[in-house]
A and B are shown apart, each in its own frame.
Chain A
Amino acid sequence: MSEVKINKDTPASQMTPGGDIYDAGNAVNFKTGDWRSVKPVFLSDKCKQCGLCFPVCPDNAIPVKEDLKRTDFNYDYCKGCGVCAKVCPFGAIAMEEEGVK
């Protein structure tokens, strides 16, 4: 996805007419990770790859690879809602205060 070139300093002559966006899906350039106050931590040794957490993430922040296995969270987007941790039957996702280690 190419970088979004329009910003609050862009002159009218260089803005897309009507507010159209020709680069569908470019919202991936917008990071929402800084909304988080709590953070999910992926405990991979506990994970049984059951898949229950895959679809529940509102922010598509649980990457699933070609081998059908999830990997660590994408913190660029995770807003820290905790839905994934709550659905995990194996305690493989822990919620921690953001900024506390």
Chain B
Amino acid sequence: MGIRERLSGNEASAIAMKQINPDVVAAFPITPSTEIPQYFSTFVSNGDVDTEFVAVESEHSAMSACIGAEAAGGRAMTATSANGLSLMWEMIYVASSLRLPIVMSLVNRAVSGPLNIHNDHSDAMGIRDSGWIMLFSENNQEAYDNLIMAHRIAEHKDVRLPLAVCQDGFITSHSIENIELIEDEKVKEFVGTYKPEHYLLNRKEPIAIGPLDLQSYLFEHKYQQAEAMRAAKKVIADVSADFEKLTGRKYSFFEEYRLDDAEIAIVCMNSTAGTTKVVVDELREQGVKAGLLKVRVFRPFPAEEIAKALSHVKAVAVLDKSDSLNAAGGALFEDVTSGMYVNNVHVPTVNYVYGIGGRDTTAKDIHGVYSDLQEIVKSGKADNPYRYFGLRK
């Protein structure tokens, strides 16, 4: 049996990092992820971990130091949010292209500007095509569990890609909820030791990392990354299965909540799924066949599996907590609908951009979405697929 606790998402993430005991943590303070390096540096100061904590002067240097550390042969972790991730952006691509399985706790927050410290997913969406594996977490438990699984996935020889565990800023990061932690020894055993095949500190085989990679080679190296991302699906499934054996907690690419017989469905990520579950239960009591598909694995995107899971419903709403500002729908919407189209699933689907800059997402809002979906089912028409809720137009 695990250890029952009450922790915020940030505390849970910091404890996961303590149990993982990485070689290097390099981080820079930014709301709302600041607490993670705060808690972690306390573990370092008290000798609870073997980690070298590098209190860098910027997020750009945080990711650069993580790259140096991981390339050297160590395990490197960091945490950031919003503008911190924006400043890292250049190095985010370098990390994945150098095939370094760095693990990041990404506490989602609106990217400037104007400045806003509250939750949305605009930071995460900025790196969606960067070659990082991205796992989303509904609550503190999932943020913790995803971190415990992260290294096994990222470091797998078929993968070797960096990984970000997302959770909603403040909503999850600062809310204290019940959680079940895994015993230190069991985490240690589950995560295992990192044994890279080639690394800078192996003096028996000095290596060179990060070449000038010209026309004859970059395409193939990018293809290798793409292949690794495709291979990650099986690895994620395998590691999740092992994790279920350890904890009894089941994780798939996505969670289907009362979806199997649903007629209308919402697709969303992170904490909004919690609110949606409450609404689904209420609607079910009223006899409305509402369901939810909560995406956990956003990269690699399980397009085929999602299309299949939604193939039987009559209307779908995809909720994007970030506006792509492209006049054609949010990122999750684009991925879900393209997955459906390619897999020959033709269900009326609409997009809602919501919750920008920490705008509250209430059960009433979600009820509104389901009643819109009922309307679509009734009329058979989904006019204006690009919608908003919670916005004063």
- Interfacial chain A residues near B206, Cβ < 8 Å: 24-25
Q: Is B205 touching A19 in the complex (CB atoms < 8 A)?
A: no
Interface size class of A (residues with CB under 8 A): 10 to 19
A-B pairs with beta carbons under 8 A, tally: 55
Residue from A8, A18, A25 within 8 A of B221 (CB atoms): A18
- Interfacial chain A residues near B220, Cβ < 8 Å: 10-12, 15
Tell me the minimal C-beta distance from A100 to chain B in angstroms.
34
Residue A99 interfacial (CB < 8 Å): no
Number of interface residues of B (CB under 8 A): 22
A20 to B205, CA, bound (A): 12
Interface of A is mostly: loop
- Interfacial chain A residues near B227, Cβ < 8 Å: 12
Q: Is A18 touching B207 in the complex (CB atoms < 8 A)?
A: no
Which residue of B is nearest A17, CB measured? B99
A22 to B208, CA, bound (A): 7
Q: Is A20 touching B198 in the complex (CB atoms < 8 A)?
A: yes
Among B160, B198, B220, which residue has the most Cβ atoms of chain A within 10 A?
A: B220
Residue B285 interfacial (CB < 8 Å): no
Residue B210 interfacial (CB < 8 Å): yes
Residue from B99, B205, B216 within 8 A of A18 (CB atoms): B99
Residue A21 interfacial (CB < 8 Å): yes
Q: Is B207 touching A24 in the complex (CB atoms < 8 A)?
A: yes
Q: Which positions in B face A, CB cutoff 8 Å?
A: 97-100, 160, 198, 205-211, 213, 216-217, 220-221, 223-224, 227-228
Given contacts A19-B211, A20-B207, A22-B198, 16 further A-B contacts (CB under 8 A): A10-B220, A12-B227, A15-B220, A15-B221, A17-B221, A17-B228, A18-B99, A18-B224, A19-B98, A19-B210, A19-B213, A20-B209, A22-B205, A22-B207, A24-B205, A24-B208
